[in-house]
């Protein structure tokens, strides 16, 4: 289960508390998602009418709720639907980090907006 550092941040009222502090992996996932995925799948994983809504697809019971199918789609893409594969652009660690971020958003553990990285 993904957890924010210092406990789980409640979904409601999170904006009033400022940015959520997340794990280093989730923060890196947010960064990689912003670079590679947000253009098509929406900023903050909010989706759009053209591409898969990752909040639904990565939610429990969704087609990419588990890491393996998520990774397979990111690596190979879905050329028949216009999604390129990212095997040459992203490392396995970066893909795993994107999965951690998207899964956290789908599980409502990571609120929208720029998260705060953990303090070193």
Reported as a single tens digit per residue, the pLDDT across 10-31 is 444 444 456 889 999 999 999 9
Predicted confidence at residue 19, as pLDDT, reads 80
91-109 b/e with 16+ CB inside 10 Å = b?
eeebbbbbbbbbbbbbbeb
How far is Cα 74 from Cα 56, in angstroms, rounded to an integer? Answer: 16
What residues does each domain of the chain span? 21-106
pTM for the complete prediction?
0.83
Encode pLDDT of 65-85 as tens digits.
999 999 999 999 999 999 999
- Using a pLDDT cut of 70, give the percent of the chain over it: 84
65 touches 58 (CB < 8 A): yes
Average pLDDT, the chain: 87
Answer with the residue of higher pLDDT: 47 or 61: 61
Taking the C-alpha atoms of residue 91 and residue 78, their distance in angstroms, rounded to an integer, is 18
CA dist 17 and 27 (Å) reads 18
**Cβ-contact 20, 4 below 8 angstroms:** yes
- The domain covering 21-106 belongs, at the CATH homologous superfamily level, to Cytochrome c-like domain (1.10.760.10)
Tell me what the mean pLDDT of segment 94-102 comes to: 98
């Amino acid at each position: 289960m993904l957890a924010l550092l210092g406990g789980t941040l409640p979904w409601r009222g999170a904006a009033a508390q400022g940015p959520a502090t997340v794990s280093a992996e989730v923060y890196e996932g947010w960064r990689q998602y912003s670079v590679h995925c947000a253009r098509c799948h929406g900023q903050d994983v909010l989706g759009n009418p053209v591409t898969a809504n990752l909040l639904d697809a990565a939610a429990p019971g969704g087609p990419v709720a588990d890491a393996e199918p998520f990774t397979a789609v990111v690596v190979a893409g879905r050329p028949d639907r216009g999604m390129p594969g990212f095997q040459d652009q992203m490392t396995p660690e970066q893909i795993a980090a994107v999965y951690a971020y998207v899964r956290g958003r789908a599980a409502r553990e990571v609120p929208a907006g720029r998260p705060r990285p953990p303090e070193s």
